[in-house]
């Protein structure tokens, strides 16, 4: 009986992230929910959001072809505690039906919690385009990518306090990503340049930098 119950439990459609009690940077991010298996049927109108006063339906969409990552859209208020409510059996996965209702608690942030970056970039003109990437200090996360064809100003808004790096990719073929070289075609990798040093963002502060 124990193995049977364990097998049945593993087949239920469950929410695997995020965990409850987190904060959402609603200025930059969309609330994303990842299910334990692909969703084959879902009643989107069954999802509700509560701010402690009102309980309203939200808009939900899947962007991936296997329908595992669901995005929640709502006109969020600043500094507000929310509970997302997904009743039992609203979604059906390939291995079974969601067993229990989901109650996901989180809190939105205030605009003053974040900083902004204005980057003035001087670039020589050429046939390709430049991909200007905002990265974490360890370069393990890409926060945002903007495109320039010539010199100009870039705005990166609502950034969490911390240190960031800026990378520029000379996008030769305009495919919006860095390409490796090809030995047989005598083609070099696309050139990469870094802004010297790191950029520190503080809460409720605007930073201006020049990159010549």
Q: Is the pLDDT of residue 206 over 60?
A: yes
Q: What pLDDT, on the 0 to 100 scale, is given for residue 101? A: 87
DSSP assignment string, 21-80: SEEE-TTT--EEEEESS-EEEE-GGG-EEE-SS-EEE-EEEE-STT--EEEEE--PPTT-
The pLDDT tens digits of the residues spanning 51-72 come to 999 999 999 999 888 999 999 9
The pLDDT tens digits of the residues spanning 140-199 come to 999 999 999 989 999 999 999 999 999 999 999 999 999 887 767 777 889 999 999 999
The pLDDT tens digits of the residues spanning 74-120 come to 999 999 999 999 998 888 888 877 767 889 999 999 999 999 999 99
């Amino acid at each position: 009986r124990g193995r049977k119950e364990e097998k049945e439990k593993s087949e239920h459609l469950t929410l695997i992230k995020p965990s409850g009690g987190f904060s959402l940077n609603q200025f930059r991010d969309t609330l994303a929910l990842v299910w334990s298996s692909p969703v084959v049927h879902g009643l989107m109108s069954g999802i509700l959001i509560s701010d402690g006063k009102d309980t309203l339906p939200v808009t939900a969409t899947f962007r991936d072809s296997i329908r595992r990552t669901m995005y929640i859209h709502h006109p969020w208020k600043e500094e507000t505690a929310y509970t997302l409510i997904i009743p039992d059996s609203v979604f059906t996965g390939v291995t079974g039906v969601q067993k229990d209702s989901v109650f996901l608690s989180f809190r939105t942030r205030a605009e003053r919690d974040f900083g902004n970056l204005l980057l003035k970039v001087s670039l020589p003109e050429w046939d390709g385009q430049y991909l200007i990437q905002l990265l974490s200090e360890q370069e393990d996360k890409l926060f945002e990518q903007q495109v320039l064809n010539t010199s100009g100003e870039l705005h990166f808004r609502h950034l969490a306090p911390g240190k960031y790096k800026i990378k520029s990719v000379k996008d030769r073929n305009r495919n919006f990503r860095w390409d490796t070289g090809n030995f047989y075609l005598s083609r070099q990798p696309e050139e990469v340049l870094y802004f010297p040093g790191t950029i520190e963002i503080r809460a409720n502060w605007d930073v201006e930098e020049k990159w010549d």
